[in-house]
Amino acid sequence: MRILVTGGTGFIGSHTCVALLEAGHSVIIVDNLSNSKREVVSYIEQITGQTVLFYELDVTDAVAVEAIFVKHDIDGVVHFAGLKAVGESVEKPLIYYKNNLLSTMVVAEACIKYGVERFVFSSSATVYGNNLVPFEESMPLLPTTNPYGETKAMNERILTDIVKANPNLAVSLLRYFNPVGAHESCLIGEVPNGIPNNLMPYMTKVAKGEFAQLRVFGDDYPTVDGTGVRDYIHVVDLAEGHVAALEKLTAGVHVYNLGTGCGTSVLELVKAFEEANAIQVPYEIVARRPGDIASCYADSTKAKKELGWVAKRDIVAMCRDSWKFEKEYID
Ligand code: NAD
Ligand code: UFG
């Protein structure tokens, strides 16, 4: 298949492009480079030995997006393009609602107009709100604590309504848990802008000596050791989940959790990182971070049963590859 990948130079998009190419598909990337670099295209080509078409454009620009659908015979879309910083979304809600909702509407509209029936959307476990873990796809969407999370829930509803009106469309809503790690080549990985918000990229910078210590946000949650529990997933596994979802798509809306099904606490992750890499991570316990929930992990049986996909890489591989990328990646 020829797949249009929006946001394809980003963290998850770039790994998914590699997985798609390795599975025999061809890839066209569109990205406005607001949170990624053009060089990623050549890194994807270097890893796979294949050519990738790239267009620098904003997917909220309907005219620019339509021109891509006119020029290329597209079989499916994987829509990653979006803004994702939770804190920033609280400060700049309008920018988040505009970018994250309009981009989906523009791309979906072009799909309908040009008869492209396969559409895979990057959603998030955040749409489960404070449902009880493990999260199952059948659970109701609950309010999230920030505009970023709301855009994911709204996009899911928009796409569901579009499918009701266009029953030939085949849409997969993929709810990601906490992606970490990087491609083994260290050519692609997560390169956060400024100070990282997320645990793993912050921890690798502490290990490198860029920050003195990790701040562990709260040790009084009702979890195994009081620290927050999350379902960390290797980004290469996550990328492979997209290929499975795309290849298995049938008409209608399908929702899948892409997680490992295992919860790991902050302190368990620190310990695993120290052991996997034989390096110390100094930390201090500080107050809870506003908006955080105690536990977030997937029931991943639906993806296994229907897509034949399971995450294969364990927490040791995630810690090892995250650290290797931090040490070897040249910005
Ligand atoms: P990323 O920022 O690395 O990638 C997103 C890409 O989209 C970037 O390259 C950015 O330049 C591009 N982009 C943003 N707005 C655009 C626009 N209007 N037009 C064209 N390009 C645009 O983020 P990521 O971690 O790879 O996440 C990809 C998707 O997965 C996002 O939708 C994100 O919300 C979702 N997601 C990520 C996580 C996570 O923890 N990383 C978790 C759940 C869901
Ligand atoms: N944490 C720390 N110290 C840090 C950073 C994080 O203790 O410096 C803790 C958090 O309190 C939480 C855990 O580590 O308990 C994971 O936090 P992250 O910021 O890495 O990830 P979140 O689970 O908060 O959020 C991530 C993405 C969201 C997405 C969500 C889906 O950033 O975009 O997963 O589950 F919506």
Burial 109-137 (b: 16+ CB within 10 A, else e): ebbeeeebbbbbbbbbbbbbbebebbbbb
Residue 194 neighbours by CB distance under 10 Å: 6
For ligand 1, what atom is nearest to the CA of residue 60? 18
User: Is 148 marked active-site?
Assistant: yes
What distances in angstroms separate CA 69 from CA 3, 65, 170, 219, one per listed residue?
A: 11, 7, 18, 50
Ligand 2 contact via 202 beta carbon (within 6 Å): yes
Question: What's the CATH code, domain 2-182+232-259?
Answer: 3.40.50.720
> Distance between CA 278 and CA 275 in Å, rounded?
5
Residue 200 alpha carbon, nearest atom of ligand 2? 20
Active-site entry in 148, 176, 232, 256: 148
Could you state, in order of their start, the residue ranges of all structural domains in the chain?
2-182+232-259
Q: What is the model's pTM?
A: 0.98
Out of 198, 205, 297, 299, give the residue to mutate to test ligand 2, the one with the largest number of ligand atoms within 8 Å of its CB.
198
Assess contact for 170 and 252: CB atoms under 8 A.
yes
The H or E element containing residue 118 is strand 118-124
Query: Taking the CA atoms of the chain, what radius of gyration do you get in angstroms?
Result: 19
Q: Do residues 262 and 19 lie in contact, with contact meaning Cβ atoms separated by under 8 Å?
A: no
- pLDDT tens string, the chain, 331 residues long: the values are 999 999 999 999 999 999 999 999 999 999 999 999 999 999 999 999 999 999 999 999 999 999 999 999 999 999 999 999 999 999 999 999 999 999 999 999 999 999 999 999 999 999 999 999 999 999 999 989 899 999 999 999 999 999 999 999 999 999 999 999 999 999 999 998 889 999 999 999 999 999 999 999 999 999 999 999 999 999 999 999 999 999 999 999 999 999 999 999 999 999 999 999 999 999 999 999 999 999 999 999 999 999 999 999 999 999 999 999 999 987 7
Of ligand 2's atoms, which has the minimum distance to the CA of residue 216?
Answer: 7
| Residues 263 and 229 sit within 8 Å (Cβ to Cβ) | yes
297 lines ligand 2 (CB under 6 A): no
- Calculate ∠ Cα 176-177-179, nearest 5°: 90
